[in-house]
Amino acid sequence: MDTDTQKPNKTGPQVIAAAQKRAPAGPGVYRMFDGEGEILYVGKARSIRKRIASYTRLGGQTNRIMRMISETASMEFVSTETETEALLLEANMIKRLRPRYNVLLRDDKSFPYILISRDHDAPQLAKHRGARSRKGDYFGPFASAGAVNRALNAMQRAFLLRTCSDSVYESRTRPCLLYQIKRCAAPCTGEISLSEYENLVGEANRFLSGKSRGVRGELGKAMEEASDALDFERAALLRDRLAAMSHIQAHQGINPGNVEEADVFAIHHEGGQFCIQVFFFRASQNWGNRAYFPKADAALDEAEVLQSFLTQFYDDKPCPRLILVSHDLPEAELLTEALSARAGRKVELSAPQRGEKRGLTEHAMTNAREALGRRMAESASQNKLLKGIAEAFDLAEPPQRIEVYDNSHIMGTNAVGVMIVAGPEGFEKGQYRKFNIKSENLTPGDDYAMMREVLTRRFTRLLKENAEGDNPGRDGGERDAAWPDLLLIDGGKGQLGAVVGVMEELGISDVCVVGVAKGPERDAGREHFFMPGRESFRLEPRDPVLYYLQRLRDEAHRFAIGTHRARRKTAMAKNPLDEISGIGPTRKRALLMHFGSAKAVSRAGLADLEATPGISRQMARLVYDHFHEGGNA
């Protein structure tokens, strides 16, 4: 690939006209930047030079394109061999750079899969999310963790495959509870031979690959043979497995009769917002659905938004053999070619007009319409609540970012602070933050000091990232997206005073801070609110704004307790032997087997350590010195 850059000082059509002279004549990707170097738009073209020329003619352009042209101060080009390669590169750049004027896919997490591992003599059945680096067969995607968990639960009953980790498998000396309740064949203790277990793995693989009819036929025949041979125990086991397979296929919502593997997409546009609903069908089963709300200009055509969405959606996901869409796409042939090249096999892209496949897209369209309706209703309700908060706390405008802080600890141990975030779209869980309390001079249980540490760390970092002159958190007069409008603190005057002190030390004066104190006897609905320079006050008991503030406080409390419990569990499970350099799993196991516990190891004498099987004299001295600060034995 060849890259060319042109960076004139002006903005608008003149810049684009100058860049056109140096633009490649062949296929590739172009990027448009504003005067600050921020990317505005990423596009692809069969001929970059001809496409750039269209931006120099202002007649007939939409308002969106006119704004983009007027802001353009520089352009960059990347040449590719084919237009297909340009399409794939464009999708990758849009996801990575997130340009202001492109359709943006808001995809905050990966899809879960079912994995049948192939790196062990007894393959494991497991849920997998993330990079597919482990050797094995992957089946999916599933729309949610709940969908894959339900499938795994039924797969255990149908195929009796192990779900335990390799370390648990190796340490078993007798079958676990899953064997007793007929959800595992227990290859770990030889209850089933590895060759017979491999047959179960093969059946599960074929079932998930869409060959369920053949697997069910074989099991039905085997059940009849066992019954004829009066082996009723085996016949009952096969019967239960067949029932589990029926359960997998019978509880999937809509199940297409003639569509074995496909993704179904439908888009609905209303009120300046878009919703794209996607259904996943694998092995003739419905593996769930998910709604997406891409960020796109309201003037864009639905088919154009859907096409841009698809190129980004499959940028990092495996593509099925069939993709069904609700609209005819403007570059369907090019997109089909690009997806086939990425998948390494033929991919069919279709907008069906009749039959069963049309029914699937219409069903997806109905779900898209309903999902967008729910989102718009929730958004309207949320905006009303934010306006109520602005009135209650005398804010100039409804807050766009609310941060709620809370602490959790037990007698000062494993202390943590947390921050949750809410805004016009509800709780923004991707913005939640955890703070392990680090101060060594802090008195155990000092909530005020903990709050000071959390707020100091939070806003010191925020100032470093976003401060500009005397107006922290602002950029060109506009509030930075990560800068809060309102801080809610779980506590009364004391906690409020600690936070206000931190804000004064850091020179921050444009953030509203409110303390929320529980009512008498911690009675919900009788909360008192504290603000600097204002007497404490209460809201009406039935006020929806009060209920919303309670939800915010309770969510922060839930997150704080969960974070504290996780840290406490980690601390309890931590083994002091892990801190000794040179002590690996084998030696650690030997010490624990010999002494019974890590505490007993720490109290052992040097001679006792040397007597441990597998522990050399040098290693015994290393362990002893670690617990006794190098003292003499």
The reply to whether 423 falls in a domain is: yes
Q: Is 255 helix (H, G, I), strand (E, B) or coil?
A: coil
More confident residue, 77 or 132: 77
Same domain, 33 and 120: no
CATH code, domain carrying 69: 3.40.1440.10
The reply to whether 104 falls in a domain is: no
Last residue within a domain, chosen from 192, 218, 250 = 250
The reply to whether 106 falls in a domain is: no
Same domain, 413 and 553: yes
- Please give the Cα distance from 530 to 534 (Å, whole number): 7
Q: Is 599 helix (H, G, I), strand (E, B) or coil?
A: helix
- Please give the Cα distance from 398 to 113 (Å, whole number): 41
Instruction: Convert the pLDDT of each residue in 8-38 to its tens digit.
Output: 456 788 888 888 888 888 999 999 998 888 8
The pLDDT of residue 512: 92
The reply to whether 494 falls in a domain is: yes
Same domain, 131 and 159: yes
CA distances for 64 relative to 19, 61, 280, 298, 400, angstroms: 21, 8, 34, 9, 24
The reply to whether 382 falls in a domain is: no
Same domain, 549 and 581: no
Same domain, 580 and 615: yes
Same domain, 341 and 461: no
Same domain, 244 and 266: no
End-to-end Cα, the chain, rounded Å:
68
Tally of domains within the chain: 5
The reply to whether 389 falls in a domain is: no
CATH code, domain carrying 269: 3.30.420.340
Average pLDDT, the chain: 83
Same domain, 279 and 304: yes
Same domain, 351 and 491: no
Same domain, 533 and 600: no
Same domain, 406 and 539: yes
The reply to whether 476 falls in a domain is: no
Residues sharing a CB contact under 8 Å with residue 97, sequence separation 6 or more, in sequence order? 31, 39, 42
Same domain, 416 and 537: yes
Instruction: Convert the pLDDT of each residue in 272-320 to its tens digit.
Output: 889 999 998 887 777 888 889 998 888 888 999 999 999 888 887 888 8
DSSP-assigned beta bridge partners for residue 474 = 479
Instruction: Convert the pLDDT of each residue in 410-458 to its tens digit.
Output: 766 778 889 999 988 888 888 899 898 877 677 777 788 888 888 999 9
Question: Domain span at residue 205?
Answer: 112-250
The pLDDT of residue 7: 45
